[in-house]
């Protein structure tokens, strides 16, 4: 009766109807020997958008994902431990002075990718960040015009029916969000009070869960389990937006299908993908390949796809694949409030302050946003264990104050650095694929930024009435590893997402981001994927793709 996420569901001409408990929708299928127009690897924020857009343009598309095809209504429990099934929990070797925590911290594995368990914060980049090097003096420029990104953000925000305020305090003047903002929970009101005391702007956070019915999605019921999957379908994830669109437009989605290698011919062009499904290795022929496995798996797959024409790994002629991996610093302050806050109610981050993304009077490069918090119990307890080393009765006493806690946590920009990277290790996984090895260290500027944030937020949290304040450090999100650049020496792919050293290979996920910005990345990844899909469709129509 209950899926453990181990049964293949998308087969025999049908795929799960994600809006039902046990229903199906029709799915077109392609033969492996048939050369499809495009094979898409990964169905998350990047891959899901590309699969839908290309299929809607009339191309034949097969999208592969290593994860399962869930129906939220029947498969998502209100239980943290059970929902670990949504994360990429295979071993990845993590090292360096500030080794990154993987798994539930930043990596999903499911149809819909990490958007199935993301916290729905939907913030745009500051326009100048697309030219961070030339306009702000740090990081890299994107080979992208911010106005083109702006149009794509509009499209994505509408596709997800983002619920947000009538006016947003930062950035270029914008129209209203597609859906009205949600009522603020107590946790968000603490942020608001603090910001007003400090004289900085704050805003209800634009979030990707509907505030009114939309099609088969009911409005959000404020159950607060968003980070482990939304069981009501109020959350607008890739799984219940772009995937149904892709299927309706004739794309095939293959669940529990792990791509191990992209094949290339003697001319250096990609010819198809080797994937493992139902206990065996298989091969799908394709005219073009789009990779969207996120910042660890995309470099891992390319590095594991070396061939005589790509001896150092696919698209790695310049040795850039896997380099400049980024995270966001995710430091936080927490305190006890007199009021009952009960932060388990509602999406975890309902209020945001982007002041330090737009104020340039700072002694460091980059910026940060911070948001109100609402961690579930084991998430909060383990963050105290890992950061403070508390255990025993002391931990139980602190946890007894769960309903009186409030916190502020940053999404802090981290500078791109070549030594922070993904490589292949000597060890292999159960399928015989080399495990990724990740090396990460925060730099000098990164530390200055998080110190600044902790100082500011501590003062602000005190002003809001918090006491017994303590701090935690950490990271969130992944970006980079296969960045876009202006030339082959500057990036793995060009501004249209096409690999410099392999003309029928594109990358369309978070790994192509040259800088990380000070906001959560997914709508930027989706907007960029929208843009890349548009350029692909144009190139194919002109016979150049």
* CB nearer another protein, residue 183 or residue 360: 183
Q: Calculate ∠ Cα 162-163-166, nearest 5°.
A: 115
Residue 5 CB, nearest approach to ligand SF4 (Å)? 18
Residue 306 is a binding residue for ligand SF4 (CB under 6 A): no
* CB nearer another protein, residue 435 or residue 488: 435
Q: Calculate ∠ Cα 264-267-269, nearest 5°.
A: 45
| Region near another protein per CB under 8 A, out of 93-101, 116-124, 281-289, 297-305 | 93-101
| Region near another protein per CB under 8 A, out of 204-212, 254-262, 393-401, 480-488 | 393-401
Q: Calculate ∠ Cα 450-454-456, nearest 5°.
A: 115
Nearest 10 degrees: Cα torsion 57, 162, 71, 108: 90
Please tell me the distance from the alpha carbon of residue 205 to that of residue 182, in angstroms, as a whole number: 9
Residues between 166 and 195 that touch another protein (CB under 8 A): 183-186, 189
Tokens of 23: 């229903």
Residue 346 CB, nearest approach to ligand SF4 (Å)? 6
| Region near another protein per CB under 8 A, out of 265-273, 361-369, 382-390, 531-539 | 382-390
Q: Which does 525 bind (CB under 5 to 8 A by kind): another protein, ligand SF4, ligand FAD, none?
A: ligand FAD
Residue 234 is a binding residue for ligand SF4 (CB under 6 A): yes
Spatial CB neighbours of 243, under 8 Å, sequence gap ≥ 6: 18, 43, 48, 51, 52, 111, 112, 253
* CB nearer another protein, residue 50 or residue 111: 111
Binding mask 97-136 for another protein (x = CB under 8 A): --xxxxxxx-x-----------------------------
Spatial CB neighbours of 16, under 8 Å, sequence gap ≥ 6: 9, 10, 23, 24, 25, 69, 70, 71
Q: Residue 191: name the closest of 401, 520, 466, 518 by CA.
A: 466
* CB nearer ligand FAD, residue 44 or residue 366: 44
Residue 314 is a binding residue for ligand SF4 (CB under 6 A): no
Residue 204 gets the label, from left (phi > 0), alpha (psi -120 to 50) or beta, of beta
Binding mask 334-373 for another protein (x = CB under 8 A): --xxxxxxx-xxx---------------------------
Residue 78 is a binding residue for another protein (CB under 8 A): yes
Nearest 10 degrees: Cα torsion 404, 118, 79, 99: -80
Tokens of 405: 């806690």
Residues between 409 and 438 that touch another protein (CB under 8 A): 437
Residue 75 is a binding residue for another protein (CB under 8 A): yes
Q: Residue 509: name the closest of 301, 333, 339 by CA.
A: 301
Tokens of 13: 């001409």
* CB nearer another protein, residue 12 or residue 339: 339
Residue 223 is a binding residue for another protein (CB under 8 A): yes
Enumerate binding residues for ligand SF4 (CB under 6 A). 209, 220-226, 230, 232, 234-235, 346-347
């Amino acid at each position: 009766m209950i899926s453990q996420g181990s049964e293949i569901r998308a087969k025999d001409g049908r795929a799960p109807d994600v809006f039902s408990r046990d229903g199906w929708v029709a799915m077109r299928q392609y033969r492996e020997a048939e050369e499809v127009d495009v094979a898409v690897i990964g169905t998350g924020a990047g891959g899901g958008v590309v699969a839908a857009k290309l299929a809607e343009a009339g191309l034949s598309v097969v999208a592969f994902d290593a994860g399962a095809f869930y129906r939220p209504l029947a498969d998502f429990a209100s239980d943290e431990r059970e929902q670990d099934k949504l994360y990429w929990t295979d071993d990845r070797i993590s090292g360096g002075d500030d080794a990154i925590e993987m798994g539930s911290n930043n990596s999903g594995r499911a149809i819909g990718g990490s958007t199935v368990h993301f916290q729905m914060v939907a913030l745009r980049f500051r326009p100048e960040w697309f030219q961070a090097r030339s306009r702000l003096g740090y990081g890299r420029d994107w080979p992208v015009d911010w106005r083109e990104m702006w149009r794509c953000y509009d499209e994505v925000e509408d596709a997800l029916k983002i619920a947000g305020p009538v006016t947003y305090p930062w950035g270029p003047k914008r129209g209203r969000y597609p859906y009205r903002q949600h009522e603020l929970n107590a946790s968000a009101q603490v942020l608001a009070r603090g910001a007003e005391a400090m004289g900085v702007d704050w805003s209800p956070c634009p979030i990707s869960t509907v505030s009114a019915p939309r099609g088969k999605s009911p409005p959000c019921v404020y159950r607060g389990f968003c980070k482990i999957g939304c069981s009501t379908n109020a959350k607008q994830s890739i799984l219940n937006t772009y995937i149904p669109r892709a299927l309706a437009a004739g794309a095939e989605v293959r669940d529990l299908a792990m791509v191990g290698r992209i094949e290339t011919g003697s001319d250096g062009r990609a010819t198809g993908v080797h994937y493992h499904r139902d206990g065996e290795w298989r091969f799908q022929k394709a005219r073009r390949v789009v990779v969207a496995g996120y910042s660890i798996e995309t470099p891992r797959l390319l590095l594991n796809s070396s061939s005589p024409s790509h001896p150092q790994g696919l698209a790695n002629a310049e040795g850039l694949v896997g380099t400049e991996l980024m995270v966001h610093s995710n430091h936080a302050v927490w305190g006890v409030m007199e009021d009952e806050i009960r932060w388990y109610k509602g999406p975890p981050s309902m209020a945001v302050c982007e002041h330090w993304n737009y104020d340039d009077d700072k002694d460091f490069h980059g910026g940060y946003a911070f948001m109100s918090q609402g961690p579930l119990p084991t998430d909060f307890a383990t963050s105290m264990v890992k950061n403070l080393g508390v255990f025993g009765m002391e931990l139980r006493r602190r946890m007894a104050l769960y309903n009186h806690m409030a916190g502020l946590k940053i999404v802090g920009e981290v500078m791109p650095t070549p030594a922070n990277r993904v490589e292949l290790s000597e060890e292999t996984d159960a399928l015989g694929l080399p495990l990724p090895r990740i090396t990460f260290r925060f730099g000098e500027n990164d530390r200055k930024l998080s110190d600044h944030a902790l100082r500011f937020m501590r003062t602000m949290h005190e002003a809001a009435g918090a006491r017994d304040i303590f701090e935690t450090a950490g990271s969130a999100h992944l970006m980079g590893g296969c960045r876009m650049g202006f030339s082959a020496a500057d990036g793995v792919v060009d501004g249209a997402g096409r690999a410099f050293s392999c003309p029928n290979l594109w990358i369309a996920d978070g790994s192509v981001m040259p800088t990380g910005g000070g906001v959560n990345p997914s709508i930027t990844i989706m907007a960029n994927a929208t843009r890349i899909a548009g350029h692909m469709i144009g190139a194919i129509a002109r016979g150049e793709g």
